Structure 1
Amino acid sequence: MMQSPYEIIDERFRWLINPTARIEKLYDGCRWAEGPAYFAAGKYLLWSDIPNSRMLRYDENDGHVSVFRVPSHHSNGNAVDLTGRLISCEHHTRRVTRTNYDGSITILATHHEGKRLNSPNDVVVKSDGSIWFTDPTYGIDSDYEGGRAESEIGASHVYRIDPLSGEVTRVADDFVKPNGLAFSPDETKLYISDTGRTHGDHHPAHIRVFDVSSESRLRDGRVFAECTSGIFDGFRIDERGRIWSSAQDGVHCIETDGTLIGKIRVPETVANVCFGGLHRNRLYICGTTSLYSVYLFDNGTRTI
């Protein structure tokens, strides 16, 4: 009998998972799978294969996987804007871009205060159209996920792109390596992971939460959850406010009070996740070399 991939730590997790639903491997052959983004209108998922500098497309209708873009400039995080366009963080070009309906590319951010960005990593779009992204140095630390270079900014920050003016504003400057980020369902809180542990055991491996003011400023930053296996990289939040986060041993589900209530074990280190499917109860999982998915019970999850 196969061992269950689900680890129930708190009874609250039991009602979110379907014990008969298996984890499906949809594709393998990546070097570092990241940045899943689901397009409901077309019923497909896009994700990045960073070292191979390509983006892949999974079609929910027939399970077919194809190359969406190559080269992708070592794209990492992706998101869907309010009108269904693709927003991407590119390591090699050190920019944030938008793919328009005709396939053309619009550059949204390359610099802050005259200095070139490090390597934009992950991105989220708020309901007012503003774009928030993290900018650690992973894409310039080596030639594997981008191109080795010195940081012009000299630190790793979090930024916001104004939806009207296009101005790039720094919103958080006290991270070691800011990484994944997501808003709470009511957008009054912003969660951001710090993966500084990759650059030293004394650095963070946690998710912080901030209050978001009406002026789009972050306040009262505090640690929300510490990772118990590796680091929290990318994550999503369901409509009840629970966090579904990547970790070394799979996907961790964290309640709104910061309690780890359960895990979905995956045979590879997980980098990021995304909700998809008709009812948004299909969790797509980017493992190291593979794309997986698993169906959860229909508990009202949605893509943030």
Structure 2
Amino acid sequence: MFGVLEGTGFETIELEFNACFIGHARVERLWTGARWSEGPAWFPAGRYLIWSDIPNNRIMRWDETDGSVSEFRRPSNNSNGNTVDGQGRLVSCEHLARRVTRTEHDGEITVIAEAVAGKRLNSPNDVVVKSDGSIWFTDPAYGIMMDYEGDRAESEIGACHVYRWDPETLRVTAVATDFVKPNGLAFSADEKSLFVSDTGGTHQEGGPAHIRKLTLMPDGKGVSGGEVFAECSNGFFDGFRLDRDGRIWSSAADGVHCLNPEGRLIGKIHIPEIVGNLCFGGAKLNRLFIAATSSLYAVYLNVNGLK
């Protein structure tokens, strides 16, 4: 069941991709048994990875020291995206509770965001923490569109936006309001750019299936622009991460797509399940952990991810 899988591997589309992988490294399946895997996050101090199994209402934990897998949290309020802040605390998006939370060092849960202007959020999807402590997250309606990953409900906001939580004022403000279904997001290394995927094509004929690139305002609290950075050639870009050289490693229907800093698809890592999200981990951040439908996969790369 576990170990190296046949039918997985690297596909070079442009020669520059060859420098990104190790010739003898293989994709490993570390665990299987989920319904829809999402939101992996690496905790370096504990040498473990957590990820969401949304329909099963739980967060899973994989331990690097012995390869064991256990339930980290159940129920999890149908958690989706997760990340780690500058103090090593877990920040999570919860579909069922329609909120973003932070798990403190003592295990207490702090609500970061659950409403804007008195209206409940839709179902926060993915989240990233900027170096100034601000928390940025996307809020599509997937968790309220059906009962499978949350509770079916009408949107109180009536739209799907990208938001920023301010660590000083504790206020939540919309920073981008022209997305159909904002999904994954990540900052560039210098935090001058914010990349956001739009998966609006999942429920809108001819809708977007791309990643957009937004420019941070001088004060670092807002964004401008938002040109399309890359179109997905197979399915949708869901969650993604950047490496230290500016490449984007993104989920897709046929595995992981690698985009160079100009947005060109240069290669793929084929996975036999639809990939929902991914992250870099390990002591050198050179191991890519891949949350794909029912399973957790991993592969060592010749690149290093951003923290």
| Fold shared, TM-score > 0.5 on shorter chain | yes
Deviation at 1:239, TM superposition (A): 1.2
Flag the 1:4–1:248 CA change in 2: closer, same or farther, 3 A: closer
Per-residue CA shift, 1:135-156, capped at 9, x if unaligned?
0000000000000000000010
Does the CA contact (< 8 Å) of 1:85 and 1:98 recur in 2? yes
Structure 2 match to 1:168: 172
Structure 2 match to 1:127: 131
1:42-57 alignment runs, 5 A limit:
42-57=46-61
Distance in 2 (alpha carbons) for counterparts of 1:61 and 1:145: 31
Per-residue CA shift, 1:267-289, capped at 9, x if unaligned?
00000000001110100000000
Structure 2 match to 1:177: 181
Distance in 1 (alpha carbons) for counterparts of 2:97 and 2:8: 42
Tell me, yes or no, if structure 1 residue 228 matches structure 2 residue 233. Answer: yes
Per-residue CA shift, 1:236-270, capped at 9, x if unaligned?
01111110000000000000101100000000000
Two-structure CA RMSD over aligned residues (Å): 1.1
Q: Which runs of 5+ in 2 are unaligned?
A: 1-5
Structure 2 match to 1:115: 119
Select the residue among 267, 274, 282 that pairs with 1:277: 282
Deviation at 1:3, TM superposition (A): 5.7
Per-residue CA shift, 1:48-79, capped at 9, x if unaligned?
00000000000011101010000000000001
Amino acid at match of 1:259: R
Select the residue among 282, 291, 294 that pairs with 2:296: 291
Distance in 2 (alpha carbons) for counterparts of 1:166 and 1:196: 29
Q: How many pairs does the alignment contain?
A: 302
Deviation at 1:4, TM superposition (A): 6.0
Structure 1 match to 2:3: none
Runs of 4+ in 1 over 2 A off after TM superposition: 299-303
Tell me, yes or no, if structure 1 residue 251 matches structure 2 residue 256. Answer: yes
Does the CA contact (< 8 Å) of 2:7 and 2:270 recur in 1? no
Q: Which runs of 5+ in 1 are unaligned?
A: none
Per-residue CA shift, 1:112-150, capped at 9, x if unaligned?
011100000000000000000000000000000000000
Q: 1:13 is paired with a residue of what secondary structure?
A: helix
Flag the 1:43–1:154 CA change in 2: closer, same or farther, 3 A: same
Tell me, yes or no, if structure 1 residue 263 matches structure 2 residue 276. Answer: no
The TM-score with structure 2 as length reference comes to: 0.97
The TM-score with structure 1 as length reference comes to: 0.98
Once the two structures are overlaid, the 10-residue window that deviates more, 222-231 or 212-221, is 212-221
Structure 1 match to 2:223: 218
Give the % identical residues: 61
Q: 1:42 is paired with a residue of what secondary structure?
A: coil
Deviation at 1:200, TM superposition (A): 2.0
Distance in 2 (alpha carbons) for counterparts of 1:79 and 1:274: 9
